[in-house]
Copies of this chain bind each other. A is one copy, B any other.
Amino acid sequence: MLELAILGLLQETPMHGYELRKELATKLGTIRAAISYGTLYPTLKRLKTAGFITESASDPSMIPPMTSKRGRVVYKITAEGKERFADLLAQAGPETYDDAGFGVHFAFFSRTDRATRLRILEGRRRRIEERREGLRDVLSRAAGRLDAYTLELQRHGLDACEREVRWLEELITNERSGRAPAASAGTFDVPAAEPAQERTAADSPQEPPRPHKDRP
Protein backbone atom coordinates (compact mmCIF):
# COMPACT_ATOMS: atom_id res chain seq x y z
CA MET A 1 0.00 0.00 0.00
CA LEU A 2 2.77 2.36 0.96
CA GLU A 3 4.54 1.44 -2.25
CA LEU A 4 1.62 2.83 -4.22
CA ALA A 5 1.59 6.06 -2.26
CA ILE A 6 5.31 6.65 -2.66
CA LEU A 7 5.23 5.96 -6.37
CA GLY A 8 2.28 8.32 -6.69
CA LEU A 9 4.01 11.18 -4.97
CA LEU A 10 7.29 10.69 -6.78
CA GLN A 11 5.37 10.83 -10.03
CA GLU A 12 4.64 14.47 -9.34
CA THR A 13 8.17 15.44 -8.43
CA PRO A 14 11.43 13.89 -7.15
CA MET A 15 11.92 14.18 -3.42
CA HIS A 16 14.09 13.07 -0.54
CA GLY A 17 12.84 10.95 2.32
CA TYR A 18 11.97 13.62 4.82
CA GLU A 19 9.95 15.58 2.31
CA LEU A 20 8.23 12.43 1.14
CA ARG A 21 7.14 11.70 4.66
CA LYS A 22 5.60 15.12 5.05
CA GLU A 23 3.77 14.97 1.75
CA LEU A 24 2.53 11.52 2.66
CA ALA A 25 1.22 12.91 5.94
CA THR A 26 -0.77 15.70 4.32
CA LYS A 27 -2.04 13.59 1.44
CA LEU A 28 -3.02 10.65 3.61
CA GLY A 29 -3.72 12.54 6.82
CA THR A 30 -7.03 10.75 7.15
CA ILE A 31 -5.55 7.31 6.80
CA ARG A 32 -2.40 7.34 8.84
CA ALA A 33 -0.98 10.16 10.91
CA ALA A 34 2.56 9.97 9.62
CA ILE A 35 4.53 7.18 8.09
CA SER A 36 7.37 5.83 10.21
CA TYR A 37 10.94 6.09 8.97
CA GLY A 38 11.27 2.51 9.97
CA THR A 39 8.83 1.82 7.17
CA LEU A 40 9.80 4.50 4.71
CA TYR A 41 13.48 3.83 4.22
CA PRO A 42 13.21 0.05 3.88
CA THR A 43 10.40 0.56 1.40
CA LEU A 44 12.48 2.99 -0.61
CA LYS A 45 15.29 0.47 -0.62
CA ARG A 46 12.93 -2.23 -1.88
CA LEU A 47 11.62 0.08 -4.56
CA LYS A 48 15.13 0.90 -5.67
CA THR A 49 16.17 -2.75 -5.80
CA ALA A 50 13.09 -3.52 -7.87
CA GLY A 51 14.08 -0.76 -10.29
CA PHE A 52 11.04 1.43 -9.73
CA ILE A 53 12.96 4.40 -8.40
CA THR A 54 16.53 5.67 -8.48
CA GLU A 55 18.60 7.42 -5.87
CA SER A 56 20.80 10.38 -6.63
CA ALA A 57 22.95 12.57 -4.44
CA SER A 58 21.64 15.99 -3.56
CA ASP A 59 21.67 18.16 -6.64
CA PRO A 60 21.81 21.91 -6.08
CA SER A 61 18.49 22.43 -7.84
CA MET A 62 16.56 22.81 -4.64
CA ILE A 63 16.27 26.46 -3.89
CA PRO A 64 13.64 27.08 -1.24
CA PRO A 65 14.84 25.88 2.13
CA MET A 66 18.10 24.08 1.61
CA THR A 67 21.37 24.64 -0.19
CA SER A 68 23.34 22.23 1.90
CA LYS A 69 25.75 19.71 0.52
CA ARG A 70 25.16 17.06 3.14
CA GLY A 71 24.07 13.54 2.42
CA ARG A 72 20.64 14.19 1.09
CA VAL A 73 19.32 11.53 -1.20
CA VAL A 74 16.83 12.44 -3.87
CA TYR A 75 14.49 9.72 -5.10
CA LYS A 76 13.16 9.73 -8.62
CA ILE A 77 10.66 7.46 -10.30
CA THR A 78 11.64 5.40 -13.36
CA ALA A 79 9.62 4.36 -16.38
CA GLU A 80 9.12 0.93 -14.80
CA GLY A 81 8.00 2.69 -11.68
CA LYS A 82 5.34 4.60 -13.55
CA GLU A 83 4.13 1.40 -15.10
CA ARG A 84 4.08 -0.28 -11.71
CA PHE A 85 2.12 2.63 -10.29
CA ALA A 86 -0.52 2.36 -13.00
CA ASP A 87 -0.81 -1.38 -12.38
CA LEU A 88 -1.17 -1.05 -8.64
CA LEU A 89 -3.64 1.77 -9.03
CA ALA A 90 -5.95 -0.12 -11.37
CA GLN A 91 -5.71 -3.63 -9.99
CA ALA A 92 -8.18 -4.65 -7.32
CA GLY A 93 -7.14 -7.15 -4.69
CA PRO A 94 -9.11 -7.62 -1.47
CA GLU A 95 -6.71 -5.25 0.28
CA THR A 96 -7.88 -2.53 -2.07
CA TYR A 97 -11.04 -2.23 -0.02
CA ASP A 98 -9.81 -2.13 3.54
CA ASP A 99 -9.44 1.24 5.25
CA ALA A 100 -5.85 1.91 4.33
CA GLY A 101 -5.96 0.46 0.85
CA PHE A 102 -9.08 2.28 -0.14
CA GLY A 103 -7.77 5.55 1.25
CA VAL A 104 -4.62 5.41 -0.80
CA HIS A 105 -6.45 4.48 -3.97
CA PHE A 106 -8.96 7.24 -3.42
CA ALA A 107 -6.26 9.80 -2.83
CA PHE A 108 -4.95 9.09 -6.33
CA PHE A 109 -8.32 8.96 -8.04
CA SER A 110 -7.42 11.92 -10.20
CA ARG A 111 -4.97 9.63 -11.96
CA THR A 112 -7.52 6.93 -12.70
CA ASP A 113 -10.21 6.47 -15.30
CA ARG A 114 -13.85 6.57 -14.32
CA ALA A 115 -14.47 2.84 -14.74
CA THR A 116 -11.77 2.05 -12.22
CA ARG A 117 -13.06 4.67 -9.84
CA LEU A 118 -16.53 3.18 -9.97
CA ARG A 119 -15.23 -0.31 -9.49
CA ILE A 120 -13.27 0.68 -6.40
CA LEU A 121 -16.05 2.80 -4.96
CA GLU A 122 -18.52 -0.04 -5.35
CA GLY A 123 -16.13 -2.61 -3.92
CA ARG A 124 -15.58 -0.41 -0.93
CA ARG A 125 -19.29 0.08 -0.47
CA ARG A 126 -19.82 -3.67 -0.54
CA ARG A 127 -17.12 -4.12 2.07
CA ILE A 128 -18.62 -1.54 4.39
CA GLU A 129 -22.08 -2.95 3.92
CA GLU A 130 -20.80 -6.32 5.06
CA ARG A 131 -19.24 -4.77 8.12
CA ARG A 132 -22.50 -2.96 8.77
CA GLU A 133 -24.52 -6.17 8.57
CA GLY A 134 -22.11 -7.85 10.96
CA LEU A 135 -22.60 -5.06 13.47
CA ARG A 136 -26.37 -5.16 13.11
CA ASP A 137 -26.33 -8.88 13.74
CA VAL A 138 -24.31 -8.44 16.90
CA LEU A 139 -26.56 -5.63 18.11
CA SER A 140 -29.75 -7.57 17.58
CA ARG A 141 -28.68 -11.10 18.35
CA ALA A 142 -25.82 -10.91 20.82
CA ALA A 143 -26.98 -7.80 22.63
CA GLY A 144 -27.85 -9.56 25.86
CA ARG A 145 -24.44 -11.14 26.06
CA LEU A 146 -22.54 -7.86 25.93
CA ASP A 147 -22.16 -5.04 28.43
CA ALA A 148 -23.38 -1.50 27.86
CA TYR A 149 -19.99 -0.09 26.85
CA THR A 150 -19.31 -2.75 24.28
CA LEU A 151 -22.75 -2.18 22.85
CA GLU A 152 -22.19 1.54 22.70
CA LEU A 153 -18.99 0.89 20.77
CA GLN A 154 -20.84 -1.24 18.26
CA ARG A 155 -23.55 1.35 17.92
CA HIS A 156 -21.02 4.04 17.19
CA GLY A 157 -19.32 1.75 14.68
CA LEU A 158 -22.60 1.01 12.99
CA ASP A 159 -23.32 4.68 12.74
CA ALA A 160 -19.98 5.29 11.08
CA CYS A 161 -20.67 2.49 8.61
CA GLU A 162 -24.03 3.87 7.64
CA ARG A 163 -22.54 7.28 7.16
CA GLU A 164 -19.74 5.98 5.00
CA VAL A 165 -22.16 4.04 2.83
CA ARG A 166 -24.14 7.22 2.23
CA TRP A 167 -20.96 9.07 1.39
CA LEU A 168 -19.97 6.37 -1.09
CA GLU A 169 -23.40 6.44 -2.71
CA GLU A 170 -23.10 10.14 -3.27
CA LEU A 171 -19.69 9.71 -4.81
CA ILE A 172 -20.90 6.89 -7.02
CA THR A 173 -23.85 8.96 -8.20
CA ASN A 174 -21.61 11.89 -9.00
CA GLU A 175 -19.18 9.64 -10.77
CA ARG A 176 -21.89 8.12 -12.93
CA SER A 177 -23.26 11.49 -13.89
CA GLY A 178 -19.82 12.70 -14.86
CA ARG A 179 -19.40 15.32 -12.20
CA ALA A 180 -16.37 15.83 -10.01
CA PRO A 181 -16.57 14.84 -6.34
CA ALA A 182 -18.72 17.78 -5.36
CA ALA A 183 -20.17 15.42 -2.77
CA SER A 184 -20.49 16.69 0.75
CA ALA A 185 -20.15 20.30 -0.25
CA GLY A 186 -18.35 21.38 2.90
CA THR A 187 -17.94 24.82 4.33
CA PHE A 188 -14.75 25.19 2.37
CA ASP A 189 -14.54 26.66 -1.05
CA VAL A 190 -12.06 24.79 -3.14
CA PRO A 191 -9.72 27.37 -4.67
CA ALA A 192 -9.64 25.71 -8.06
CA ALA A 193 -6.02 25.21 -9.12
CA GLU A 194 -4.51 21.95 -10.30
CA PRO A 195 -5.32 21.41 -13.93
CA ALA A 196 -4.78 17.78 -12.98
CA GLN A 197 -2.36 16.65 -15.57
CA GLU A 198 -4.01 14.17 -17.83
CA ARG A 199 -2.69 10.91 -19.16
CA THR A 200 -0.70 8.96 -16.69
CA ALA A 201 -1.13 5.31 -17.38
CA ALA A 202 2.09 4.01 -18.78
CA ASP A 203 0.54 2.96 -22.02
CA SER A 204 -3.10 4.03 -22.07
CA PRO A 205 -3.62 7.55 -23.37
CA GLN A 206 -7.31 7.92 -22.56
CA GLU A 207 -7.94 9.61 -19.21
CA PRO A 208 -11.64 10.39 -19.67
CA PRO A 209 -13.95 13.40 -19.20
CA ARG A 210 -12.97 14.60 -15.76
CA PRO A 211 -14.75 17.95 -15.87
CA HIS A 212 -13.03 18.85 -12.66
CA LYS A 213 -12.61 22.55 -12.71
CA ASP A 214 -10.33 23.92 -15.34
CA ARG A 215 -9.45 27.53 -15.31
CA PRO A 216 -9.35 29.61 -18.52
A212 near B155 (CB under 8 angstroms)?
Answer: no
Of the four ranges (under 10, 10 to 19, 20 to 34, 35 or more), the interface on chain A belongs to 35 or more
Contact A106 B153 (CB under 8 A): yes
Q: Does A191 contact B (CB under 8 A)?
A: yes
- Interface positions of A (Cβ within 8 A of B): 26-27, 29-30, 33, 103, 106-110, 131, 134-135, 138-140, 142-160, 163, 167, 171, 180-181, 183-184, 186, 188, 190-194, 196, 210, 212-213
Oligomer: number of copies: 2
- Asked whether A135 and B30 contact (CB < 8 A) given A184-B156, A188-B155, the answer is yes
Q: Is the CB of B145 within 8 A of A156?
A: no
Q: Considering the chains assembled together, what is the distance between the CA atoms of A193 and B143 in angstroms?
A: 9
Q: Which 5 A-B pairs have the closest CB atoms?
A: A30-B157, A109-B149, A110-B147, A144-B193, A152-B181
In the complex, chain B residues whose CB is within 8 Å of the CB of A191 = 143-144
Neighbouring B residues of A154 by C-beta, 8 Å: 29-30
Given A146-B27, A148-B110, A193-B144, A159 contacting B186 (CB threshold 8 A): yes
Knowing that A145-B194, A145-B213, A152-B184 touch, tell me 18 more A-B residue pairs with CB under 8 angstroms.
A30-B153, A30-B154, A30-B160, A103-B153, A106-B149, A106-B153, A139-B188, A143-B188, A145-B193, A145-B212, A147-B194, A148-B212, A148-B213, A149-B194, A151-B188, A151-B190, A156-B184, A163-B163
